[in-house]
Amino acid sequence: MEKLVNLCKRRGIVFPTSDIYGGLGSTFDYGPLGVELKRNVKEAWWREMVQYRSDVLGLDSAIFQHPRTWEASGHLKNFTDPLVDCKNCKQRFRADRIEGDKCPACGGELTPARNFNLMFKTFMGPVEDTAAVVYLRPETAQGIFSNFENVVDTQRVKLPFGVAQQGKSFRNEITTENFIFRTREFEQMEMEFFVRPDRAEEEKWYRYWVDFRFNWHVKFGIKREHLRAREHATDELSHYSSGTTDIEFLYPFGWGELEGVAKRGSYDLDQHAKFSGKDLTYFDEDTKTRFRPWVIEPALGVDRAMLAFMLDAYDEDVVDNEERIVLRLDPRLAPIKVAVYPLLRKAGQPEKAIAVRDALKRHFTVAYDQAGSIGRRYRRQDEVGTPYGVTIDHQTMEDDTVTVRDRDSMAQDRVPIARLVEVISDRIGWTRPAAAEPV
Ligand code: GAP
């Protein structure tokens, strides 16, 4: 993990927030390369979860929701962690994360556990009184439930169907840990999949989404042996869930949650109907009945997904007797897709290389590098995961061909400049079809 954290800082992937002020406990910013990686992870999810399918629609709801939302959803009452304080050193811990009844830092006596609500509170408007209290959303899901009627009324949807969204969520976690694994501000990608209220239907789609999500991680580069699906025990379930499977990843600190797939039943729609006085039912044309559908929810953290992709991509090997760090990211996720290099800084090669860079830039994220030996330039790109390197050499000046180097095999082949966009697009592979939907 430490090696990855160093690489992320050194190469502009992840910076500590407010670095110039000494940081702000476990809060992180994404640098020029990190923001590209993050966009690609979100793109990989959006394509496979929304755009390539015909049964899922997108949404983008506000971070602030009406405060009644959180009463209805149960977050105000139940979204808590047990907190203990050390009477001696004053540190705070999550009671369920420590062993024994003494302070893990100094061995001091601990206070009895009390529930601590994880929602961040603030005020909307200029008056800071109880009537103005609003919360930063702790999950994106509630914006989907509160828009259920809007989507059904405007989109001619038919069960089963899903509504997906990506966006920031906030939790005032008692303890943060492990780089970008657990932070107080993070981004989620969630989808609420509405099905008929029927146990067999619910089970079918629950299994389907656990498999689909598991395979998505593998498809974009997580090693199968580093993933497992773990069903929650009854005492672990969230207040809204009647069954949850965590897709866990083998982090350097052990197995931990990467994504959760939960059965939420009609809990949320029932609660919002009760608190808002709205009907929130769905009219089923086939049976001419009205009911509130049940929900299966796959929920993934963008930052946590990025961490897992980077951890599994991180590799060190030896090339020409020199150690190299290489991030073997799936080309679709790589922040920079192509690096363009003139072999020499003369003979018209830099000018030609800049023209190639500018042509490629309309299609891909591109880096240009003419500093140092070609071997060093390759290494610089290998460690940030750039999958392809295009080199302009003396032959380019004669026949308009370039070499294309592959990050992983290091093989090089000659390609006419006129075909570069097509060749690189094919290799990146965004156009590969998604898994078919069941009918
Ligand atoms: N709507 C359901 C829900 O929010 P969750 O298991 O609490 O479920 C879903 O969160 C995912 O969001 C987690 O699997 C994880 O990837 C991510 N996540 C949750 N809390 C996080 C935190 N404090 N920091 C980073 N990611 C977090």
Question: From the CB of 304, is ligand 1 less than 6 Å away?
Answer: yes
Query: Is the same domain home to 281 and 397?
Result: no
Q: How far apart are CA 324 and CA 331, in angstroms?
A: 19
Residue whose CA is at the smallest distance from ligand 1 atom 20 = 182
Residue 270 CA to ligand 1 center (angstroms) comes to: 23
Residue 236 CA to ligand 1 center (angstroms) comes to: 14
Tell me what the pLDDT averaged over the chain comes to.
Answer: 95
Query: Is the same domain home to 230 and 346?
Result: no
Rounded to an integer, the average pLDDT of 351-375 is 96
Question: From the CB of 213, is ligand 1 less than 6 Å away?
Answer: no
With 60 as the cut, is the pLDDT of residue 1 above it?
A: yes
Residue 248 CA to ligand 1 center (angstroms) comes to: 12
Q: How far apart are CA 395 and CA 350, in angstroms?
A: 14
pLDDT, position 320: 84
E strand or H helix at 122, and its extent?
Answer: strand 121-123
Pairing of strands 254-265, 314-319: unpaired
Quick check: is 116 in a domain?
no
Query: Is the same domain home to 52 and 138?
Result: yes
Query: Is the same domain home to 215 and 180?
Result: yes
DSSP classification of residue 95: G
Question: From the CB of 405, is ligand 1 less than 6 Å away?
Answer: no
DSSP 171-236: ---SS-BTTTTB-SEEEEEEEEEEE-S-HHHHHHHHHHHHHHHHHHHHHTT--GGGEEEEEPPGGG
Question: From the CB of 173, is ligand 1 less than 6 Å away?
Answer: yes
Question: From the CB of 139, is ligand 1 less than 6 Å away?
Answer: yes
Quick check: is 111 in a domain?
no
Residue whose CA is at the smallest distance from ligand 1 atom 24 = 182
Quick check: is 293 in a domain?
yes
Rounded to an integer, the average pLDDT of 121-133 is 94
Sign, CA dihedral 267-272-274-280, equals: negative
pLDDT, position 438: 54
Question: pLDDT tens digits for 322-339?
Answer: 899 999 999 999 999 999
Rounded to an integer, the average pLDDT of 46-73 is 97
Question: From the CB of 298, is ligand 1 less than 6 Å away?
Answer: no
Residue 186 CA to ligand 1 center (angstroms) comes to: 8
Instruction: Write the CATH number for 142.
Output: 3.30.930.10
With 60 as the cut, is the pLDDT of residue 433 above it?
A: no
Query: Is the same domain home to 161 and 289?
Result: yes
pLDDT, position 211: 98
**What is the residue range of 411's domain?**
336-428
Rounded to an integer, the average pLDDT of 268-292 is 97
Rounded to an integer, the average pLDDT of 399-426 is 97
Question: From the CB of 217, is ligand 1 less than 6 Å away?
Answer: no
Of 327, 392, 335, 403, residue with least CA distance to 365: 335
With 60 as the cut, is the pLDDT of residue 424 above it?
A: yes
Whether 301 and 292 have beta carbons less than 8 Å apart is answered as: no
DSSP 346-397: STTHHHHHHHHHHHHHTTS-EEE--SS-HHHHHHHHHTTT--EEEEE-HHHH
- Per cent of the chain over pLDDT 70 is 98
Q: For residue 32, what are the contacts with CB-CB under 8 A and spacing of at least 6?
A: 12
Rounded to an integer, the average pLDDT of 19-44 is 96
Q: How far is CA 11 from CA 5, 61, 323, in A?
A: 10, 33, 17
Rounded to an integer, the average pLDDT of 97-104 is 90
Query: Is the same domain home to 192 and 291?
Result: yes
Instruction: Write the CATH number for 347.
Output: 3.40.50.800
Quick check: is 100 in a domain?
no
Query: Is the same domain home to 359 and 234?
Result: no
With 90 as the cut, is the pLDDT of residue 48 above it?
A: yes
Of 265, 293, 310, the residue at which a domain comes to its end is 310
Long-range contacts of 7-10, Cβ-Cβ distance < 8 Å, separation of 24 or more:
7/314, 7/325, 7/327, 7/383, 8/34, 8/310
With 60 as the cut, is the pLDDT of residue 385 above it?
A: yes
Q: How far apart are CA 341 and CA 389, in angstroms?
A: 7
Query: Is the same domain home to 192 and 301?
Result: yes
Residue whose CA is at the smallest distance from ligand 1 atom 16 = 301
- Per cent of the chain over pLDDT 90 is 92
Q: Based on the structure, what is the number of domains in the chain?
A: 2
Quick check: is 273 in a domain?
yes
Residue whose CA is at the smallest distance from ligand 1 atom 19 = 301
Residue 302 CA to ligand 1 center (angstroms) comes to: 9
Query: Is the same domain home to 143 and 254?
Result: yes
Query: Is the same domain home to 232 and 380?
Result: no
Quick check: is 438 in a domain?
no
Atom of ligand 1 nearest to the CA of 183: 24
Residue 175 pLDDT grade (very low, low, confident, very high; cuts 50, 70, 90): confident
Question: pLDDT tens digits for 183-201?
Answer: 999 999 999 999 999 999 9
Rounded to an integer, the average pLDDT of 241-266 is 97
Q: Is 421 helix (H, G, I), strand (E, B) or coil?
A: helix
Quick check: is 206 in a domain?
yes
Rounded to an integer, the average pLDDT of 258-262 is 98
Rounded to an integer, the average pLDDT of 215-229 is 98
Question: From the CB of 26, is ligand 1 less than 6 Å away?
Answer: no
CA 197 to centroid of chain Cα atoms: 30
Q: Is 47 helix (H, G, I), strand (E, B) or coil?
A: helix
Residue 249 pLDDT grade (very low, low, confident, very high; cuts 50, 70, 90): very high
pLDDT, position 432: 46
Pairing of strands 14-16, 114-117: unpaired
Query: Is the same domain home to 242 and 298?
Result: yes
Question: From the CB of 166, is ligand 1 less than 6 Å away?
Answer: no
Quick check: is 281 in a domain?
yes
Rounded to an integer, the average pLDDT of 83-92 is 93
With 80 as the cut, is the pLDDT of residue 435 above it?
A: no
End-to-end distance of the chain based on CA atoms, in angstroms?
Answer: 42
Q: Is 281 helix (H, G, I), strand (E, B) or coil?
A: coil
Query: Is the same domain home to 362 and 225?
Result: no
